[in-house]
Structures are given as C-alpha cells and as structure tokens.
Amino acid sequence: MCFSNTFDDETAKLVTAETATELTKVIDTSELEMFCLYRIPTAFDFETFSKFTQSHEKIEFYVKSVS
C-alpha cells in the first residue's frame, strides 16, 4: 500500500510541530510499502519523523519540504 500527499497552501496552514508525532501514532505500518509527503511546511518536526522512518526500514519514505 502507498500513501501520498502534497500540501497545498491551505493544508500547509494546519501543520504544526506536533503533526510529525501524530503521524507516527496513526500510520499503520503493517501493509505500508511507500509513504510520500511533499511541500511539507517548515513547522513540521523533521527530526521526530526521521527517527520514525529509521525504525521502519522496510517502508520507502519520500519527504520533501517547501523549497
């Protein structure tokens, strides 16, 4: 299974530092093969999410912040 999301200007306003922590709680890793997030606002806690990705090496993660 694959999850993909690109933040637009409106959804980007909803992202906080806690968003990364909340994502790690709700992502069902049992069947997930790929997880993609694009145009991630700088408020996102990349360090927390990075720890999560490192502990789930079987999943391909693609994350890209707003340039």
Residue 67 has pLDDT above 80, yes or no: no
Check residue 13 and report its DSSP letter.
Answer: T
CA 31/CA 44 separation, integer angstroms: 25
Q: What tens digit of pLDDT does each residue of 47-59 get? A: 999 999 999 999 9
Q: Is 25 helix (H, G, I), strand (E, B) or coil?
A: helix
Per-residue pLDDT band at 12 (split at 50, 70, 90): very high
Report the candidate in 49, 35, 26, 29 with the shortest Cα–Cα distance to residue 5. Answer: 35
Residue 60 has pLDDT above 90, yes or no: yes
pLDDT at 49: 95
Q: What tens digit of pLDDT does each residue of 22-33 get? A: 999 999 999 999
**Joined tokens for residue 40:** 């991630």
**pTM of the predicted structure, to 2 decimals:** 0.85
Angle subtended at Cα 26 by Cα 7 and Cα 59, rounded to the nearest 5 degrees: 75
Check residue 5 and report its DSSP letter.
Answer: E
